Structure 1
Amino acid sequence: MPIVLRALRIINRRRRLLAAALAAAALACAGLAIRPVPSREVLAAARDLTPGVLRATDLTMVRLPEQAVPDGALTSRTRATGRILAAPLRRGEPLTNARLLGPGLVDAYGPGTRATPIRVTDAASARLLRTGDVIDVIAAAPRWDDNVEARTATVAEAVRVILPPVTARDTESEPGESGALVVLATTGYQAIRLAQAAAGSRLSITIHGQPH
């Protein structure tokens, strides 16, 4: 009989220890469950945005878990307002420096890349462009004599569009300006050739087809 009692005491003691261990584990899990996940407020699009100049009303603050915050996320509405958005942004999508015209965006095209603005004479053709399109830029010298064929030359080949023409809601053309302003990713040499051509020629574009 004493042996049976001793065995029962041992079993009961082990049960109490097991119950205490389970209770401690439950408390630990509850503590983890109620512990707040680290988060941070970042700027995001208040609505679907097209490339162009950012206004304060285009942006809103959203809180994201720390692990979900993308690299280069912007947190200051004041610093973002007035910057140029270079690619479409969906409503609620965080705004990063890689989406804005500037060093962060240009660096993505490779070392030595220049952001080169050109004014395309035919604004309608320029409006067909989208960020990432590959184009050639052709310069045509003015024709002073109808009997003389205009001289044309390709001054930049296979350059990518960083920023297509901004929409009318974003900016207005200066008096006397025509055509449409486009920003391209070029080498330093291409930037010089484009600047030289723009000084005395009309610039037009051809758009490369998508590779199959």
Structure 2
Amino acid sequence: MRGLRRVLARRRRLIAALLAGLAVACVLMAVRQPQGVAVLAAARDLSGGRLTAADVMSVRLPPDAVPDGAFPAGSAVTGRVVAGPVRRGEPLTDARLLGQGLLAAREPGMVAAPVRIADPDAARLLSPGDVIDVLAAFEGDAQQALAVAHAVKVLARPVEADAEGSEAGALLVLATNPAEAAQLAQAQAQARLSVTIHPR
């Protein structure tokens, strides 16, 4: 027992130094920055509409799990319009928000055409990616409604349009070519627009 005490007394400085080093290592591990890439994600389930600060949070993902077009933490996205439903925790990308990213994967020459259809309940049936025809019914015209756009894809259905009431209709953003966009603009100025939905 006395021999052990003598050994401990001789090694006291070494033991103290080892304990101090261990304490420093523990502190460094506690304050070390978390691993991964910080990107913006939905802070709650989003059905669409305009982003607020409360809708967005920062998450860290492994570098190989960061999707293309993700927004780095700190990016200014408040006020941007979400193209469709987003789940809580899902990273926000340029393809999810109205803007050039929505057309990035489309054919060259395509444009995003905002169109207001008469029936908001019909618009609620649609999601981004759906393919539709747009029909125009002109007032006082006894003929059948005319198709003014064929097989166009829905890019977004901004949810805030639903709150404007049935008389205002509902807004859709469609991927069209410039000629179709011009036809749609002329039709919605003169007629009530409706849609038919292509099967997936």
Return the TM-score normalized by structure 1: 0.72
Report how many aligned residue pairs link the two structures. Answer: 170
Shift of the alpha carbon at 1:151?
A: 5.1
Q: Which has the larger radius of gyration?
A: 1
Q: How does 1:41-52 map to 2 (within 5 A)?
A: 41-52=38-49
2:170 is the counterpart of 1:180:
yes
Question: Relative to structure 1, is the Cα distance of residues 190 and 203 closer, same or farther in structure 2, using a 3 angstrom cutoff?
Answer: same
**Which consecutive unaligned segments of at least 5 residues does structure 1 have?**
1-33
Letter in 1 for 2:157: P
Letter in 2 for 1:48: D
Q: Give the alignment partner of residue 162 of structure 1, picking from 121, 144, 155.
A: 155
Over the aligned positions, Cα root-mean-square deviation in angstroms equals: 2.5
Shift of the alpha carbon at 1:52?
A: 1.7
Return the TM-score normalized by structure 2: 0.76
Indicate the SS of the match to 1:91: coil
Q: Give the alignment partner of residue 146 of structure 2, picking from 150, 153, 171.
A: 153
**Which consecutive unaligned segments of at least 5 residues does structure 2 have?**
1-28
Paired-residue identity, %:
52
Shift of the alpha carbon at 1:150?
A: 4.1
Q: 1-side partners of 2:102 and 2:39: how far apart?
A: 19
Q: How does 1:179-198 map to 2 (within 5 A)?
A: 179-198=169-188
Partner of 1:209: 199
Q: How does 1:1-212 map to 2 (within 5 A)?
A: 39-76=36-73, 79-143=76-140, 149-150=142-143, 152-167=145-160, 172-173=163-164, 178-210=168-200
